[in-house]
């Protein structure tokens, strides 16, 4: 996933589940940090780019550009 391009609106699958049980997150912000919104419970988190890239397993759906 190192060379993947991530855009606002993309839905990604993470390696570990959120405590609510969901693996899917929607990207709400990109840059040095990523803003992510849980697709299960709506919880919002900010995560550093290196940690995000390491934690992403796959892009579930890409945003319509």
Predicted local confidence at residue 41, as pLDDT: 95
What is the DSSP-derived secondary structure letter of residue 16? Answer: S
User: pLDDT over 70 for what percent of the chain?
Assistant: 91
Single pTM value for the model:
0.86
Supply 38's token pair.
């849980």
Hey, where are the domains in the chain? 11-57
User: pLDDT over 90 for what percent of the chain?
Assistant: 82
pLDDT, one tens digit per residue, over 44-60 is: 999 999 999 999 999 98
Instruction: Tell me the three state secondary structure of residue 57.
Output: strand
């Amino acid at each position: 996933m190192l060379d993947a391009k991530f855009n606002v609106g993309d839905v990604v699958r993470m390696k570990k589940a959120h405590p609510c049980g969901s693996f899917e997150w929607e990207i709400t912000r990109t840059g040095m940090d990523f803003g992510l919104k849980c697709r299960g419970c709506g919880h919002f988190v900010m995560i550093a780019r290196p940690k995000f890239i390491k934690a992403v397993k796959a892009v579930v759906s890409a945003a319509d550009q």
